[in-house]
Amino acid sequence: MLSIFLFSCENKKENVIDFNDVMEESERYREEDVAPKILEEKIDSTIVIRDLFLQNGIETKSLSYITERMFPERFGVRNFKKYELILSNDTLRYFNWNYKDSIQTMNAFFNWMDHFGNKRISVRIGEQRRMQKKPFIIYVGDTNLIFIEAISKINEQEWRGYFEKLGYNDWHYLIKQNKNSKAKWYRFEDGEKIEVEN
């Protein structure tokens, strides 16, 4: 028994091997080269998004993210895109909310129309009234609700072309209001835009 005790208490010297002694430094990997390459490859995401607008017909000079929460975000939004776009002649605010299905989209839309804008006014479908001072367009699709607001003017045809290039063609409603004017409502039937009368 004494021998077992002495054997277990024996001081063993561990043989430690330095990894650098065993493995040569790789030509592809040098620790000092890693950080500069990562920094060079980092791309500003706003440039990528701005380029997407440019490639699809919206002449955007710069873009920034909007952090403001809007009313449609209260209704189970799956994801969203919120940008401020600087154009050559105007500044736009772009909101695109995506929902799981058309039921959630319509629920968000109709609730929004009951509480629209800063004054939370109630707007009926087809109602031609001034909803706010700034010009805007709202597209309502199966799973997307899009709101674009400008300071002076919005080119609705340009935006419709932009959405068509991206594959958005399932619109139910369009609301368009010029600056200090009454909003006009449109519905879509077989891709054709038809004005809604109140």
Q: How far apart are CA 98 and CA 78, in angstroms?
A: 6
pLDDT at 151 over 70: yes
Cβ atoms of residues 172 and 140 within 8 Å: yes
Mean pLDDT of 68-91: 93
Model confidence at 20, in pLDDT bands (50, 70, 90)? low
Smallest CA-to-CA distance from 152 within 85, 93, 83, 91 is with 91
> Which DSSP symbol is given to 145?
E
Mean pLDDT of 168-191: 92
Mean pLDDT of 168-183: 93
β-bridge partners, 187: 173, 194
Q: Please, what sign has the CA dihedral across residues 109, 122, 67, 58?
A: positive
Q: How far apart are CA 124 and CA 13, in angstroms?
A: 86
pLDDT at 21 over 70: no
pLDDT at 176 over 50: yes
Share of the chain above pLDDT 90, in %: 66
Contacts for 12 with CB less than 8 Å, ≥ 6 apart: none
- Higher-confidence position of 13 and 45: 45
Ranges of each domain in the chain: 40-195
Read off the pLDDT of residues 115-148 as tens digits, 9 standing for 90 and up.
Answer: 998 889 999 999 999 999 999 999 999 999 999 9
Q: How far apart are CA 177 and CA 128, in angstroms?
A: 9
Q: How far apart are CA 173 and CA 194, in angstroms?
A: 9
Residue 140 pLDDT? 97
- Higher-confidence position of 25 and 149: 149
pTM of the full structure: 0.76
Model confidence at 81, in pLDDT bands (50, 70, 90)? very high
Share of the chain above pLDDT 70, in %: 78
